[in-house]
Structure 1
Amino acid sequence: MLGNFKRILAMATGSLLLAACQVIPGAEAPRPDAGGPVVEQPRVPDQAVLPDDEGRHRVALLVPMSGSNADVGQSIANATTMALLDTGAENLRITTYDTSAGAGAAASRAINDGNRLILGPLQRDNVGPVLAQARPDDVPLITFSNDTTVARSDVFVMGHIPEQSVVRTINFAIDQGASRFAILAPRGDYGNRTTAAAEQVIMARGGTVVDVQRYDRGNTSIISAADRLSTAGGFDTVLIADNARLAAMAAPRLKNAGDSLPSIIGTELWSRQDTLLSAGAMRGAWFSAVPDDRYRQFANSYESRFGEQPYRIATLGYDAVLLTLRLTRDWRPGTDLPAGLLTTDGGFLGLDGPIRFQTNGVGERAMEVRQIGNGAFTVVDPAPSGF
């Protein structure tokens, strides 16, 4: 399995000019005086004590390393360490800054330490405070958030965007003959975003939105909302824009197990949710997500190093390092990141497949369509290999 992981990373680097990659399971971090990767652990750095880096790019990783999201932040930080070791990167110094005590303060320390690129923050609410510190010094952000509202010409959204998953699945469903849609979505930001994206693409493709039912998350109101949809009828496809547990609760109210119609479609929240495989009414349902084959191998390599499985979002940290290495081909250490490097038309290839940033900062991803089957997920429409 690890051998396959090596070959995949090597192919990725060759096809999109990433730095050469070699997986080193369980490798120890090289000593700074040995000329290998430099991995800085979370602390409160001070420019006066950091060594001069004439040949290395200083890059800041801003994630929560304490508090309620500390495990997620640690998983991302571990993944960046993996990427440095796997690629043998000698031209990067990545320093981790804890955003839990204040994202703005962490960004200020990162800027004072001479970092010219920020990977992070994780949460959208932290983007504003970080940007306030970074923008005056022309330091761009590659945030792990999936909220497109924070995207700017100097804020690049790297997270898996739910609207893109919805659009991909609905386009596939229409190609299969779907035309009359119902939408079942929670109240709140996620439901608003997915509903708006669904309505827009359905109308653009000449389909009809027959009904939209909203509900409060965290209780059984999704069942009542599904009953209202079922009573009204008139649709051939239902988007359930929620997690696997709630989708499995609603599906039996919309169709019987074994019925082909209405078709049920979902979002990226269903990825790697094996509980869906035992829900009879969910059989045949479609959803879209980034390709998952590289993640499985990444997760095995991660566990061999750190003794536990990573959070799914950890691949963003790994891919951010691969992306940064690609940028260093045209970026001189100690200088500002040249404008336009992040918005190359061909994009970049990582563990989560191809991604390219638009000039407005939104990351566009290639997603595959999966179908829920009897005990397994099947890819029914592969992700494009590039843009």
Structure 2
Amino acid sequence: MTAIFAATSAAPQERVSGFARAVKRVAALSALALLAACQSVVPKGGNVPVAGPKPDPIVIPADGRHQVALLLPITGPDGDVGQSIANAAALAMTDTNSTTKINLKTYDTALGVAAAAQQAVADGNKLILGPLRGDNVVTAADIARTKNVPIISFSNDIGVAGRNVYVLGHLPSQSVDRIVRFAKAKGKNRFGAIVSNNVYGQRASSNLTISVRDAGGVLVNVQQADDSQASIDAAVARLKAEGPVDAILIGGTGGWARMVAPSLKRSRVNAQILGTELWNIDSRLASSADMRGAWFASVADGYYRQFAEKYRTRYGKAPLRLSSLGYDAILLTSRVSQEWQLGTTFPITNLIDPGGFIGIDGAFRFSGNGLSERMLEVQEVRAGQFTVIEAAPGAFAK
């Protein structure tokens, strides 16, 4: 595994400086040390470079830097998320001294994702970081493929992965599987679920079915509900009528979970509440008395807390939780740029390292199909905080 950060138990100010030193060491490492495990062949049928038109002649950028596009919603409804990710990317550019070798240009997808992608390709960018939403990735990828420009997306939509598109977002399937296996190890055998009636809820339901089966548990029942309290109460009643369960997965956002949990208590459904990676981005969960004792699986927060301190110092406010994706995307780009010939196609096969990488969100790696795999920890909702009750595994199984 290619390590980026070193764990520390130093005082707060020392942790920040240690974080900065660790990041700067990344830029100084040789390509051999950073990518020694990247010599593996892309799996058959995996995310190989797409055969497109003949490559254009190599044109060396005038400023002698790799051209990289950042496609994000800087304005509009998702502008706060996009700007936070962009700020994190800028912070990573400084921390890794990448401004001398990478020219990062931001394109606002809120003004039209197709126009943003077309302009990014026309400007000669050889790599696209983003967009944020899955439907935008599809649009951008269709345009980027005309010039064999690969994409590292911030989406968590597994449907967009492949054909030169890599998904850096946190995948719900891994979160569901991690929490189910943890619960099963703690003696929970009969599982139920209340899931939101949208695409995320449908996938959570499908993932739960597979995970419970693989863990050797029993899936009693899954109920869907919309965002109304009446619909949630009805779903809880239907679930209760199916018989007792040991654990209930709430498949939805943190805000939606804060509506479901009280309904479970009012109906006297006594079962361990389980959640997904979406809960980690909702700090209000920790203040909900009805959520106390709930378990959920998520990326580790240790490095993120150090990053957040640096972010607040630079921008005067706290980052949004998803901003770590922007930071890690730049870490990857900076690393691969050490073996990237100026003016040529981004070497995406160097992203496939069986040992994985460590970034702000802990250990992760890409598979040949374009999906990211992450080491997740299990957290418990306690009074005013999330507490780690099982740490993320230390290494990937090769």
Shorter-chain-normalised TM-score: which range? 0.7 to 0.9
Residue 147 of structure 2 aligns with an amino acid whose one-letter code is D
Structure 1 residues 188 and 327: alpha-carbon distance in aligned structure 2, compared to 1, 3 A threshold:
same
How big is the alpha-carbon RMSD for the aligned residues of Structure 1 and Structure 2? 2.4
Within a 5 Å distance, the mapping from 1:326-365 to structure 2 comes to: 326-365=335-374
- Asked whether the 8 Å contact 2:151–2:165 carries over to 1, the reply is yes
The SS at the match of 1:19 is: helix
The SS at the match of 1:195 is: helix
Give the corresponding residue for 2:16.
5
- The separation in 1 between residues aligned to 2:299 and 2:335, in whole angstroms, is 21
Give the corresponding residue for 2:200.
190
In the alignment, structure 1 residue 306 sits paired with structure 2 residue 315: yes
Give the corresponding residue for 2:276.
267
- Any stretches of 5+ residues in structure 1 without a counterpart? 22-49
Structure 1 residues 100 and 243: alpha-carbon distance in aligned structure 2, compared to 1, 3 A threshold:
closer
Give the corresponding residue for 1:242.
252
The SS at the match of 2:319 is: coil
In the alignment, structure 1 residue 318 sits paired with structure 2 residue 327: yes
Structure 1 residues 7 and 20: alpha-carbon distance in aligned structure 2, compared to 1, 3 A threshold:
farther
Please state how far the C-alpha of 1:363 moved relative to its aligned partner.
0.9
Q: Deviations over 1:67-122 (max 9, x none)?
A: 22222222111111111111222211111112222222222221222211110111
Q: How many residues align?
A: 354
261-270 or 246-255, larger mean C-alpha shift: 246-255
In the alignment, structure 1 residue 285 sits paired with structure 2 residue 294: yes
Give the corresponding residue for 2:381.
372
98-107 or 361-370, larger mean C-alpha shift: 98-107
Please state how far the C-alpha of 1:205 moved relative to its aligned partner.
1.8
Q: Deviations over 1:324-373 (max 9, x none)?
A: 01111221111112241111112222111112111110111111100122
Pick aligned residue for 2:137 from 118, 121, 127: 127
Residue 128 of structure 1 aligns with an amino acid whose one-letter code is V
- The separation in 2 between residues aligned to 1:384 and 1:148, in whole angstroms, is 23
TM normalised by structure 1 equals 0.85
Within a 5 Å distance, the mapping from 1:1-387 to structure 2 comes to: 1-8=12-19, 10-11=21-22, 18-20=26-28, 52-54=62-64, 56-89=65-98, 90-255=100-265, 261-387=270-396
Higher normalized contact order (CA 8 Å, seq sep 6+, divided by chain length)? 2
Structure 1 residues 51 and 151: alpha-carbon distance in aligned structure 2, compared to 1, 3 A threshold:
closer
- The separation in 2 between residues aligned to 1:145 and 1:199, in whole angstroms, is 23
- Asked whether the 8 Å contact 1:230–1:253 carries over to 2, the reply is no
- Any stretches of 5+ residues in structure 2 without a counterpart? 1-11, 30-59
Give the corresponding residue for 1:31.
none
Structure 1 residues 238 and 325: alpha-carbon distance in aligned structure 2, compared to 1, 3 A threshold:
same
- The separation in 2 between residues aligned to 1:319 and 1:305, in whole angstroms, is 18
- The separation in 1 between residues aligned to 2:155 and 2:233, in whole angstroms, is 30
- The separation in 2 between residues aligned to 1:247 and 1:105, in whole angstroms, is 37
Identity of aligned residues (%): 44
